Amino acid sequence: MGDCLPITVKVYINNQVLIPANVVRCLGVESVDFIDVMIRFGSRLVRINNVRLLKPARSRGSSRQFTIPREIREEFGIEPLSIIELVGVKYVGCSIAAWNRKTYKLS
């Protein structure tokens, strides 16, 4: 893993966040389906566990997208076209069936 984080990204109108292909390759998560994500919005850090990585519909590259859950968006006021900072990504090494979806808020 290289030194590819933190990066600043925009929340799309569908509440998804694009992780650019060069960052995906740098992190080594091209074939990973689920990750834990740490984002910064304003001065607050938010950890979101077990986020599903999606492949963009019209892309053959390595970029990936994830959706910010509604409860996180509502609690922190994250709206479409907001700018967030992706500060951490951790590979989730087990299947979805083994995880309870939990969201941790850090301030």
**Cβ atoms of 99 and 36 closer than 8 Å:** no
Domains annotated on the chain, with CATH: 7-92 (2.40.30)
Tens digit of each residue's pLDDT (9 = 90 or more) over 1-60:
557 888 999 999 999 999 998 998 888 888 888 889 999 999 999 999 889 999 877 767
Q: What is the pLDDT of residues 49-91, one digit of tens each?
A: 889 999 877 767 888 999 999 999 999 999 999 999 999 888 8
Amino acid at position 103, single letter: T
Closest CA to 84 of 6, 3, 4: 6
The pTM score is: 0.77
